[in-house]
Amino acid sequence: MGPGGSIRERGLSPADPGGDAGVLRAKWDQRYGSAEGLPEPALVLREYAHLLPGRGEALELACGLGASALWLAERGFRVSAWDLSPVAIRQLSAHAQERGLPVAASVRDVIAEPPPPDCFDLILVAHFLERGLAPAIAAALRPGGLLFYQTFSREAVSDCGPSDPMYRLAPNELLGLFPDLIVRAYSDEGRIGDTGRGIRDLALLVAQRPEGSDPEPPP
């Protein structure tokens, strides 16, 4: 199974940016209402765990059930986790409470209310592609802060993830979305070589806001 398999199994697909927030919320609420168990934490976190800062303030944006938020909290981060779906946020809050983990989970439309500048030491985005939000995400990092991003690529080897290419990354596109950040790790293996091996179907990025940089004003 490709790294995005768990997403496909749950029938998830990314946001329809043209859709009404209420319709979108109802769609995700229904999916999370029938979801069984938690997905795996994002591969980009597990693969590049050695790059994580020791601790600090982390944000999982469009977190869904928040498996990565919980994973980060277990590793010493104070985590904010935002998603449009109240059903997902309720489940995440319950999990965090059960485990005694510092996860502040909130229902939030991140397009209407993007993260404020200069607030987080780490931001994770997984399987959510809202290109217009990229400048606000970069600016929401504190100087030296790290962005961990993964989502589906167009040059895939399986049918995991959304079929509409609009919701998938073109080659190198993820790099271009964050021009002011320093690339620390990037993977997009496409279809070359032995496609039975490696990290396929996804582009992964770890990028850092330069130390001492001023916050970028969101557009």
Ligand X SMILES: C[S@@+](CC[C@H](N)C(=O)[O-])C[C@H]1O[C@@H](n2cnc3c(N)ncnc32)[C@H](O)[C@@H]1O
Which span (122-130, 140-148, 167-175, 198-206) binds ligand X, by CB under 6 A?
122-130
Is position 15 an interface residue for ligand X (rule: CB under 6 A)? yes
Nearer to ligand X, 27 or 143 (CB): 27
Shortest approach of ligand X to residue 217 CB, angstroms? 21
Is position 88 an interface residue for ligand X (rule: CB under 6 A)? yes
Does residue 192 contact residue 143 with C-beta atoms inside 8 Å? no
Count other Cβ atoms within 10 Å, centred on residue 217: 9
- Closest by CA to 119, choosing from 49, 216, 207, is 216
Question: Among positive and negative, which fits the CA dihedral 137, 132, 178, 136?
Answer: negative
Nearer to ligand X, 127 or 142 (CB): 127
Shortest approach of ligand X to residue 71 CB, angstroms? 12
Which span (98-106, 109-117, 185-193, 207-215) binds ligand X, by CB under 6 A?
109-117
> What would the 3-class secondary structure string for 97-140 be?
HHHCCCEEEEECCCCCCCCCCCCEEEEEEECCCCHHHHHHHHHH
Is position 115 an interface residue for ligand X (rule: CB under 6 A)? no
Interface positions with ligand X (CB under 6 A): 7, 12, 14-15, 24, 28, 39, 62-64, 83-85, 88, 109-111, 126-128
